[in-house]
Amino acid sequence: MTNTAGARPAMADCHDSGGAAPLGAADWLGLAAAPTFATMGLLTAVFGGGEPAVLCSTAPGAAPMSGMVAMYLLMSAFHAGPWLRLIAERGGSARRS
pLDDT at residue number 12: 47
Distances in whole angstroms, Cα of residue 43 to Cα of each of 35, 49, 60, 67: 12, 9, 24, 13
Largest CA-CA distance found in the chain, in angstroms, rounded: 60
The pLDDT of 54-60, averaged and rounded, is 57
Whether residue 89 is predicted with pLDDT greater than 70 in this model: the reply is yes
pTM for the model: 0.56
The pLDDT tens digits of the residues spanning 34-50 come to 999 999 999 988 887 65
The pLDDT of 66-91, averaged and rounded, is 89
Whether residue 23 is predicted with pLDDT greater than 70 in this model: the reply is yes
